Amino acid sequence: MRPEGIIVPLVTPMDGDGNIALGAIGEQVDRMIDSGVDGIFAFGTNGEGYILSYEEKEKVLSSVIDAVSGRVPVYAGTGAISTEEAVRTSRMAARLGADYLSVITPSFAKASQEELYAYYETVAASTDLPIIIYNIPARTGNAVSPETVGRLAKLGNIVGAKDSSGDFSNILSYIQEGRKADPDFAILSGNDRLIIWTLIAGGKGGIAGCANVYPKTLASIYDLYKEGRIEEAIQVNESLADFRALFKFGNPNTVVKKAVQLLGYEVGECRAPFNKLDAKAVDLIKKCLDSDKAKGLC
């Protein structure tokens, strides 16, 4: 199995008290799949995996897998600060029936490349599921170097890497180093702005937070690319610029979830303390949604 296409890191619905609203997961899963996305990613960054307990992750993943019902692959975010917790969560995801694991780097404490290699090597040895390395140094404080990605690509079940650094040169280096070890090693952009350019460079798609807001629009980028309609795909990719510009007004997760809520879906707020947007920001999100709708984004 190799990851490809547009994969949505599904927002985790919550009620007014910040508790998981399991009953609302199915609606979002159906909305994404009906819009043409190629995979559902449970409790990624946009799914607030960083603030969910192990027990909550188990419930969310079980609900996602039930709702997906085999229609597209299910990805589970199983990385953690400790190797032990990452292994525990990865085994849970395998037991529940996930198709892929997305393993974020440890966070807070600075890790050497040897420590990162050992972390991923141990997680990979704990499961037969295919694993995607998740590199997002701005959030975790740790970056997996291209050389380390190349080493990890030699392990049988580490099949790809998601890069959310926003540095396209890093994506290119990941593609180069990964494919030295495995010609089919899959690189995914975690930055929506770079999805089409990653595809053109030889990557396989993207894990796109904005797909929670505009699933059909994001899914069409990959479809157009596969059809050879590259200029159209570039134009669609660039059509997201106005929405992405809103990220300067708050945590991108918070902006995305608020936008989904403003579209009329009962997904609640992000869990505190990451749930504050001032009135000006909310008004700008509303205006952007209206403008984007007029331009055909959906």
Q: Name the catalytic one among 75, 134, 214, 222.
A: 134
Taking a C-beta distance cutoff of 8 angstroms, is the pair 141, 106 a contact? no
Token pair, residue 263, equals 């579209």
120 is catalytic: no
Q: Is-cis flag, bond preceding 13, omega within 30?
A: no
Taking a C-beta distance cutoff of 8 angstroms, is the pair 101, 67 a contact? no
Token pair, residue 230, equals 């590259």
Name which of 179, 127, 170, 172 is nearest 152 in CA terms.
179
What phi and psi values does residue 188 have, to the nearest 5 degrees?
Answer: -120, 140
Residue type for position 216: K
Taking a C-beta distance cutoff of 8 angstroms, is the pair 68, 74 a contact? yes
Name which of 187, 111, 120, 104 is nearest 155 in CA terms.
120
Q: Can you name the residues that pair with 76 across neighbouring β-strands?
A: 42, 101
Q: Name the catalytic one among 50, 75, 100, 162.
A: 162
DSSP state of 98: -
Name which of 207, 163, 178 is nearest 5 in CA terms.
207
| Kind and range of the H or E run holding 97 | none
119 is catalytic: no
Active-site annotation, residues? 134, 162
